[in-house]
Structure 1
Amino acid sequence: MKQEILIVDDTPINLVLFEGLVKKLANCSSTTFADPVQGLLWAQAHTPDLIVLDYMMPNLNGIEFIQRLRSIPGKENQLILMVTANDQKDVRYQALDAGASDFLTKPIDRLEFLARTRNLLALSAAQRKLSDHALTLAAEVRVATADILQREQETVIRLSKAAEYRDPETGAHILRMAHYSQLIARGLGVSAADQDLLLHAAPLHDIGKVGITDNILLKPGRLLPEEFELMKKHASFGYEILKDSKSSILQAGAEIALGHHEKFNGSGYPQQLRGEAIPLFSRIVAVADVFDALTSARPYKPAWSLEAARAHIQSNAGEHFDPACVAVFLELWDEVLVIRERFNDQEDDWTTLLNTLL
């Protein structure tokens, strides 16, 4: 691949001289401009290996050229060979401050020009090689990071599936409430990264139910007070299972597991947190989980109508639920219905459904 040298000098005879010298360099080509403004425009749009730049030019001198070029993102390391007169020491100091890489003095010495340009071109080639290597490494890191993220997400899926084996809730329920949660987070202005984190962590909200005995977990009727006290422990169980993980998804899942049964008025469990003391993800999941639980049939209850469940959520804003989460949920009602239709219980296949989280 040929290396390219941009030459900017307002004196035509100098352009001819420089072009002739460049031809003596192996595998090099030159682009020339007598107008420094046009040369700067070209340099902004291209990435030459070296710029040979005269200082004394009309409209835009060499130092101004360098300053403008260096101010452009991506041009900070452009190699520039400044051409000055022998008595212009102050100019050379200013050019160094502006970002000149090296100097030539007039009258141009042919051997010196060839030596300095070869050195700078070798440096340019090394810079490009290093940059290409950095891009390759960045691409490899992205691939490795994506692989790690997919493994984390698979862990979430398998943990969620383990809980599902102990609980009459379906895979479709897990996906609906996770997508409802993401929807609410988006409406609240949560960052895209945290929306995605919530989508993948929300399915872990009830992982602690693996620690609840079958006679309580699968009881078809209403739980006795002492049974309900045991059932409430699933929130703490889930937190204990997930809390020490280094995975951001499992850490978020631990927070959600612990806090999604807290109530905005402080009457929830296990810590009786109130208002914004309840973590945001837990406040969001509380709305999503209760709504889907109400509208889903279970062995111990029929499904509520959408209208009845919506009214329940709305009437409990400020009591059970964060009013801001409820407001967003109702505002995005049409999208809620789309999610409900997309993940229906008739397509309750874990492999198919949970692949949507990968």
Structure 2
Amino acid sequence: MQVVIVDDTNINLVLMSHLVKKLDGVEAITFQDAKEALHWCKANPFDLLILDYMMPDINGLEFMADFLESKEGDLSCPPILMVTASHDVEIRHTALESGATDFLTKPIDKIEFLARTKNMLQLHRANISLLNQTSWLEDEVKKATAAILEREQEAILLLCKASEYRDPETGAHIQRMAHYSQMIAKHLGLTESEQDLILRAAPMHDIGKVATPDHILLKPGRLTDEEMVIMKQHADIGYQILVQSSAPLMQVGAEIARSHHEKYDGGGYPQGLKGEDIPLVGRIVAVADVFDALTSERPYKKAWPLDEAKEFLVKNSGSHFDPKCVDVFLAHWEDVLAIRNEFQDDSEHE
């Protein structure tokens, strides 16, 4: 361990460094110039500062104040042992209140000096050990949290796969619309954590379709009014499935499931919400989902050309879609094309 000793009198430096070296595994670093010492202490790690009070240019209190200010918030800051020839109680109190860990008076008692030095080095070692343990625990918590999030995401993907087996939508569609959603969220100014939640939650948008009967879900033609009523139930069912979890990701997924079929003019379902009463995540996913559904081929329809899908978004901006979400989506068309090219349906590779 390293002990820094600052004193303007050379004989004191020689004496204290000689005593410090009696301690096992301890090295003394001495400075007679306080300014030089302060510069070094700010730039280098060490384990104990032994600081004289009466020095020219910078006294011990001024040195300590400057040094501690540079270490503000650093929990590994070393202890400080103030040494003074003064018996003034007020100076001792000021030193302790200003951040000194302990103090000694001159002439130095060798036994007391070694005992206090040894105790403070042990204190610092214990503090560093505690900080290391805290850091290790934080890392372990991060690992455990990451594992939980990974299992949570696996559960979500399994739910989505269960839905895919019954729904003609493909896994590539889910990936595209999720990344479109993240892209819109990013350019709307949402935080990175909010963008990540939307990316991971968007694939759950139609999870409620697991409860939709096959003859309705897989019907190639237009649904009757009665069948459409049943089909629309998937939004509320998806919400009920996901909202039971307290996990933030599931809560966002539940909100998306229930709100992404709402329309900006209030003509959507299941609640008939209007404008900004529709949760932002629902408004974002509505644009991403509809655009990709239009431009994707299905057993019952051909894919729309990109220009026609863009025109549909523009035409329905303010009625079906939030104009801000549409504007952001179209303003970053290169991002849209990049996502579309990255996540292609299997048939597009053949």
Give TM class, smaller chain: over 0.9
Q: CA deviation at 1:93?
A: 1.2
1:334 is matched with which residue?
334
Using the TM superposition, give the Cα deviation of residue 49 of structure 1 relative to its aligned residue in structure 2, in angstroms.
1.3
Cα drift, residue 57 of structure 1: 1.9
Displacement of 1:192 in angstroms is: 0.4
Question: Any residues of structure 2 matched to 1:28-67 within 5 Å, and which?
Answer: 28-67=26-65
Partner of residue 204, structure 1: 204
Q: Which amino acid aligns with 1:45?
A: A
Which among 64, 67, 70 is matched to residue 68 of structure 2?
70
Shift of residue 329 of structure 1?
A: 0.6
CA shift digits 1:219-261 (9 cap, x unpaired): 0011112211111110000001111102221111101000000
| Residues 85-135 of structure 1: per-residue CA shift (max 9 Å, x gap) | 232322111111111000010111111110110111111111111111111
How far apart in 2 are the matches of 1:297 and 1:314? 21
Give the distance between the partners of 2:319 and 2:148, measured in 1 at CA. 40
Alpha-carbon offset, residue 341 of structure 1? 0.3
* 1:89 pairs with 2:89: yes
1:161-200 matches, cutoff 5 A: 161-200=161-200
Secondary structure of 1:103's aligned partner: strand
RMSD: 1.5
> Residue 293 of structure 2 aligns with which residue?
293
Report the more deviating stretch, 124-133 or 190-199.
124-133
Q: Which stretch shifts more, 247-256 or 167-176?
A: 247-256
SS in 2 for 1:159: helix
CA distance in 2, matches of 1:75, 1:65: 17
List runs of 5+ in structure 2 lacking aligned partners: none
Distance in structure 2 (CA, Å) of the matches to 1:73 and 1:167? 58
Cα distance, 1:194–1:348 mapped onto 2, change above 3 Å: farther
CA change 1:147–1:90 in 2 (3 A) is same
Equivalent-residue separation in structure 2 for 1:149 and 1:6 (angstroms): 47
Q: Secondary structure at the match of 1:203?
A: helix
Between the aligned partners of 1:199 and 1:75, the Cα distance in structure 2 is 37
Identity percentage of aligned residues: 56
Contact 1:262 / 1:273 at 8 angstroms: preserved in 2? yes
Q: Is the Cα–Cα contact under 8 Å of residues 264 and 278 in structure 2 kept in the other structure?
A: yes
Contact 1:170–1:348 (Cα < 8 Å) also in 2: no
In structure 1, the residue matched to 2:119 is 119
For 2:290, the aligned partner's letter is: V
Secondary structure of 1:232's match? Answer: helix
Taking the aligned partners of 2:105 and 2:26, their CA distance within structure 1 comes to 22
Shift of 1:33: 1.6
Greater shift, 179-188 or 29-38, is seen at 29-38
1:318 aligns with 2:321: no
Amino acid at match of 1:62: G
Tell me the SS of whatever aligns to 1:132.
Answer: helix
Equivalence for 1:5:
3
- The question of 1:247 aligning with 2:252 is answered no
Q: Compare 280-289 and 41-50 and name the one that shifted more.
A: 41-50
How many residue pairs were aligned?
347
User: 1:221 matched to which residue of 2?
Assistant: 221
Q: Which runs of 5+ in 1 are unaligned?
A: 350-358
Residue 267 of structure 1: how far off its partner (Å): 0.9
Residue of structure 2 equivalent to 1:279: 279
User: Once the two structures are superposed, what CA deviation does each residue of 1:192-220 show, in whole Å capped at 9, x if it has no partner?
Assistant: 01111111000000000011101110000
- The residue type paired with residue 267 of structure 1 is G
Say yes or no: does 1:138 pair with 2:141.
no
1:164-189 deviations in whole A, cap 9, x for unaligned? 01100000000000000000010011
| Runs of 4+ deviating beyond 4 Å | none
Structure-2 change in CA distance of 1:233 and 1:170 (3 Å): same
CA contact (8 A) 1:69 1:75 kept: no
339-348 vs 160-169, greater mean Cα deviation: 339-348
Cα displacement (A) at 1:347: 7.0
Greater relative contact order structure (CA < 8 Å, 6+ sep): 1
Q: Paired residue for 2:151?
A: 151
TM-score relative to the length of structure 2: 0.96
Structure 1 residue 348 displacement after superposition: 8.9
